[in-house]
Amino acid sequence: MPATTSGWARYSRAHSPSREKVKLFKGKREKPSAEAKERIARKAAHMLHRAFRTRLLSLIDPSVAIRKVYDQFKQLPDVDRLAPIYIGAGQFYRLETITDIMRRKLRTVRDLIDEASECSERIDKFNRGIMPTTNGLRITNPEKILKDVQALQANFPKLIVKPGIISVTTEPIVLHCEQESEDVNLGRMRITLRLLHYCRGSSCYTPYVIEAEDGVNPKNGDDFIHPHVASGVLCEGNAQHAITDALDDGRFYDFFHIVHNTLIVYNEESPHCSLELWLREAETCSECGDDLNEDYSSSCEICGERFCDDCIRYCDIGSTAICVNCRNNASPCEYCEVAGSRGCLIHENDPCDICGEVPSDAEEIECDAGYTMHANCINDASTLPSMCVDCSYMRDCSELPESLKEEEEDDDEDEVSVEDNNDS
Amino acid sequence: MKIDFVNNTGGGFRGEIDVTEGTTIEQFFHQQMGEGKSFGDYGITVNSLDVNPSRVLREGDTVSIVPGKYSGA
């Protein structure tokens, strides 16, 4: 029995570079010839047209429209579920209600039929290449797309066509920082259109990404390649409509052009990462000397110097960042007992109503009337005038401060007014 | 005669419009964008090709105007 070759094996053998082909790439790459450029353009245009066609068809899919109408249909109340009206011994439905429901159901069915026939007509026209898009433009045909691709080749330094992606590389992006009065060269950027995501036409997947070809990151250690690009996604700002429309219409040259024109502008009002960070000298950790990242560094609350997360220490309660040096030299905190710690969360406790000092968590007791006390103060009966009548602690809760008494009276009035409203 | 016009500024406009015979790209640009706008601040293509401002529009052309700068966010 002859050995069968899998599809993948056949594909990889057919597409793997032969030795002769490998030799070609060893030397300096030559510029592609006019024929090669034409071949690449045709291939890119073919891929883009297929993707555009798939996307358009997914947008006019009749099943989507029919499902929409069917969902409306389902939402209509059913006659069976109507509450009957009893007249005498028998039960009847109100006639107007039934008529109304039947009329609405009929209208929905008509909508359904109209929608389905319209979809069928649009698909028919689309297949014959005469369907205008919703905005009144003639549908993008393969020749138009080929012209777009040729324009991309003419206006961008590099056009890359790979299975599932079309990308262009820009000239080095240079942005001007007003505050520092200096230009920042961010290097060349690659705008990649991902055809699979583009076909789906879904807003869940961004159809294009921005990558740095030879990018420069900010000096604070962040991974940003551009002030308006985060994780490859461009924050489009006022280009959003233009980009969406260009993709919807299949105007690919406009799309890359608009994205490029967004990348060459710095909007200092709302960047992901300020352009100044590309110019400022990198801050280093005072202990180990590594470059500091803003998100992974802290300042010592005693000496004020900045440290990376590996070199900074925290007190037991976690509210105070202290460097190792300050921790060794400072006296221990009276609350958390960590050397150099201060500003611990314990300071949030209310002072004792008897002695006036702030109790620690272990010492604090709050009576049912809401007073804060030291455990020691409660035990010392000589400091307490009498047994509290409202709660079990030895504290005269009847001796409330005037301000607290007023609050309690206000609360009572509120309760009464609510009851009055309920009665009325 | 009718041409396809794509204006990529702001909310944008895409559609077929009537222009008089013999209108040049520069005249068309000022008709659509206003006299105060500078031709050089925009990327203007006709049928996906960069064109000379004196190029005369023809029936069925697609004119696309892309501002030179967009503000990212």
Q: What is the pLDDT of residues A380-410, one digit of tens each?
A: 655 554 445 455 555 555 554 454 445 445 5
Residue A15: φ, ψ to 5°:
-105, -5
Q: ipTM score of the complex?
A: 0.88
Distance CA A386, CA B3 (A): 96
Residue listed under structure tokens 């009035």: A413
Q: Would you say residue B24 has pLDDT above 90?
A: yes
Within a domain: residue B61?
Answer: yes
Are A346 and A336 a contacting pair, CB within 8 Å?
Answer: yes
Within a domain: residue B15?
Answer: yes
Q: Would you say residue B47 has pLDDT above 80?
A: yes
Within a domain: residue B41?
Answer: yes
Q: Give the minimum alpha-carbon distance from B35 to chain A in angstroms, rounded to a whole number.
A: 23
Residues contacting A357, CB < 8 A, separation 6+ = A351, A374
Q: What total number of domains does chain B contain?
A: 1
Is residue B10 exposed (0-12), middle (13-18) or buried (19+ Cβ within 10 Å)? exposed
First to last CA, chain B: 40
Residues of B in contact with A251 (CB under 8 A): 6, 64
Angle at A189 between CA A185 and CA A192, to 5 degrees: 170
Residue A396: φ, ψ to 5°:
-80, 95
A313 touches chain B (CB under 8 A): no
Residues of A in contact with B12 (CB under 8 A): 241-242, 245
Residue in B with minimal Cα distance to A270: B73
Phi-psi region of A130 (alpha: psi -120 to 50; beta: other; left: phi over 0): alpha
Residue listed under structure tokens 């976690």: A318
DSSP state, A291? B
- At residue A422, the pLDDT reads 44
Q: Least CB-CB distance to A265: which of B14, B16, B71?
A: B71
Residue A43: φ, ψ to 5°:
-65, -45
Within a domain: residue B72?
Answer: no
Side chain identity at residue B52, one-letter code: N
First to last CA, chain A: 95
Q: Give the minimum alpha-carbon distance from A258 to chain B in angstroms, rounded to a whole number.
A: 7
Are A72 and A213 a contacting pair, CB within 8 Å?
Answer: no
Q: 3-state DSSP call for residue A374?
A: strand
Residue A31 neighbours by CB distance under 10 Å: 7
Distance CA A165, CA A208 (A): 9
- Of residues A178, A159, A127, the one with CA closest to residue A45: A159
Higher per-residue confidence, B32 vs A334: B32
**Alpha helices per DSSP H over A137-286:** 142-155, 195-200, 240-249, 252-263, 276-279
Within a domain: residue B49?
Answer: yes
CB contact under 8 A, A249 and B70: no
Are A187 and A203 a contacting pair, CB within 8 Å?
Answer: no
Q: 3-state DSSP call for residue A160?
A: strand
DSSP state, A286? T
Within a domain: residue B6?
Answer: yes
Q: What is the pLDDT of residues A216-258, one digit of tens each?
A: 777 666 778 899 998 889 998 888 888 988 888 888 999 999 9
Within a domain: residue B73?
Answer: no
Residues of A in contact with B10 (CB under 8 A): 238, 241
A251 touches chain B (CB under 8 A): yes
Residues of B in contact with A136 (CB under 8 A): 14-16
Q: Give the minimum alpha-carbon distance from B13 to chain A in angstroms, rounded to a whole number.
A: 9
DSSP state, A307? E
Q: Give the minimum alpha-carbon distance from B2 to chain A in angstroms, rounded to a whole number.
A: 11
Q: Least CB-CB distance to B72: which of A155, A245, A262?
A: A262
Residue in B with minimal Cα distance to A256: B66
Within a domain: residue B26?
Answer: yes
Chosen from B63, B66, B69 to mutate, greatest number of chain A CBs within 10 A: B66
Taking the whole predicted model, whether its pTM rises above 0.80 is answered as no
Are A234 and B72 a contacting pair, CB within 8 Å?
Answer: yes
- Of residues A134, A182, A169, A160, the one with CA closest to residue A40: A160
- At residue A152, the pLDDT reads 92
- At residue A404, the pLDDT reads 46
- At residue A29, the pLDDT reads 57
Q: Least CB-CB distance to B73: which of A150, A251, A267?
A: A267
Cα–Cα separations (whole angstroms), residue B30 to A137, A251, B24: 22, 23, 10
- At residue A413, the pLDDT reads 46
CB contact under 8 A, B72 and A237: yes
CB contact under 8 A, B73 and A245: no
The segments of chain A whose pLDDT lies below 70 read 1-30, 58-99, 101-102, 119-139, 201-204, 219-221, 282, 317-319, 334-335, 342-348, 368-369, 378-424
* β-bridge mates for residue A175, sequence order: A184
CB contact under 8 A, A137 and B9: no
DSSP state, A384? -
- Expressed as residue numbers, the domain containing B62 is 2-67
Chosen from A265, A268, A270 to mutate, greatest number of chain B CBs within 10 A: A265
Under an 8 Å CB criterion, which residues of B touch A?
4, 6, 8-12, 14-16, 43, 45, 47-50, 62, 64, 66-73
- At residue A121, the pLDDT reads 67
Distance of CA A94 to the CA centre of its chain: 52
Distance CA A399, CA A386 (A): 10
A155's tokens: 């206006």
The CATH code of the domain that includes B32 is 3.10.20.30
